[in-house]
Amino acid sequence: MIHTYIEYKILLLYFLILLLSPHLLLAENIPLTKKGGVYEVPVEVNGVIKLNFILDTGASEVNIPADVALTLYRTGTIRETDFLPGQTYRLADGSILQSSRFLLQSLKIGNRRIANVPASIGSASSPLLLGQNFLEKLGAWGIDSQKQVLTIRTKVEKEASTSKQPYIPKNKSISIPEEVDLDKVFIKGDQLSYAGYEIGRSLDREKNEYVLTIKKNRKILVNINSWWDSYGDMTKIGVFPLLGKENKQLLVMQYSGGSGGFHTCKIYDLVPNIRVIHDDEEYSLFGGISIIDINKDNKYEIVRRGNSFRTSYMANVDNVYPTVVLSYNMNIEKYVIENKSFPDYILANIEYDINKFNSMDLLGNIAIKGSLFAEYTSAMLEVVVNYIYSGKEKEGWDFFSRRYKLPNKEEVRSDIIKRLNNDPVYKEIYGR
């Protein structure tokens, strides 16, 4: 009877722990390897081969080196039908692939499989990278630098951890719609005709860079050279009704490829006359572009990432890239930063970010260097920066003042202030 009673108590305690801490059942830990300050994780490609990829939040897209892409192609791991339509791509050995981008049927980390992942072919010297187009589909994930593991949480856990958000839409029945699928917007060929304009892209073989021209009545109005010496299909064009009118706007996106994963984007309104309504170089924006009608007014917002908090003391996976929301201003006829108008969107995961930092806060004293310091600082910045860039600067600084416990607090505070003061996005948000 005594043994039965004890077993009953143990079983009851076990279920109580699981009830209070559901994440114990709803998370998967995957071993990592750290090399040269970056983390590598084994990834199963197309259900056939395992390769070690670098976790890189600074890369917008999955990157495959040219020699690896050629090997995968020749062994049948990727097929002709997997290449995305576009220009042919010539490798260093003279081999020709159908495009500089292709669609991976699946990438699998641990038990999590993500299907239909676009990937870019980089130079032979570039690394295998897991960029944001894959990492964002994982859901909630994090790195335990002490245990050297990648923790992937399920969607159920993420919803549980964010159920008590401090800032939520007033009308809870309104959900934010999905972003526009740009793969369906960008054309597959090289020439586009719209509203009397002829838009075409071509490869300058002498310079090995793409050139885009916009013509009307055979007159060249715009001539854009690729800002990065790249092989393959790095320039994308398409038209989409961003402004909720009958007329469509022209999107021009150029991608550097390789490990940096930089994008540059310009958007033109063509009717009645051509004019630029978005140029990301104005605000030093970073990464890919998302188009989404956040407030459902039939005019689409542009969502980008800020670049001011990339630091030398943190790996790319730990760097913080604040969300930047641009909305079309009818008075000046261009997209401007409107973060203060969309705090609910920017702070959608703030409770999860706070909980993540709180869990790290229990670790005690941390040396002011190394990967654990970077992880701690990154978790703190994720909260503080998101508050500040949503227009809630007081809440951000209050969190920092109350919760940051390391002795270099004033040094970190000064660094944050310096980065904010040099950031055109921050200045635009607060009119400074």
Which CATH number covers residue 109?
2.40.70.10
Handedness of CA 333, 337, 341, 347 (dihedral sign): positive
User: Which residue, 46, 273, 296, is CA-closest to 176?
Assistant: 296
Other CB atoms within a 10 A radius of the CB of residue 301 amount to: 22
Q: Residue 168 falls within a domain, yes or no? A: no
pLDDT of amino acid 368: 54
Q: Which residues contact 51 (CB under 8 A, 6 or more apart)?
A: 42, 43, 45, 68, 128
pLDDT of amino acid 146: 74
- Number of domain units in the chain: 3
The stretches in the chain having pLDDT less than 70 are 1-27, 85-99, 153-177, 208-209, 226-234, 255-263, 311-318, 360-372
| Domain co-membership, 296 together with 394 | no
Q: Residue 313 falls within a domain, yes or no? A: no
The pair of three-digit structure tokens given for residue 339, joined into one six-digit string:
């973060």
pLDDT of amino acid 163: 35
Domain of 107 in residue numbering reads as 23-161
| Domain co-membership, 363 together with 289 | no
Q: Residue 121 falls within a domain, yes or no? A: yes
Cα 171 to Cα 66, 175, 297, distances in angstroms = 49, 9, 15
pLDDT of amino acid 312: 53
| Domain co-membership, 270 together with 208 | yes
| Domain co-membership, 29 together with 99 | yes
Is residue 237 within 8 Å of residue 265, measured between CB atoms?
A: no
Residue type, 131: G
| Domain co-membership, 246 together with 187 | yes
pLDDT of amino acid 22: 46
| Domain co-membership, 269 together with 354 | no
| Domain co-membership, 380 together with 330 | no
Q: How far apart (Å, rounded) are the C-alpha atoms in residues 99 and 320?
A: 32
Is residue 425 within 8 Å of residue 324, measured between CB atoms?
A: yes
pTM for the predicted model, two decimal places: 0.63
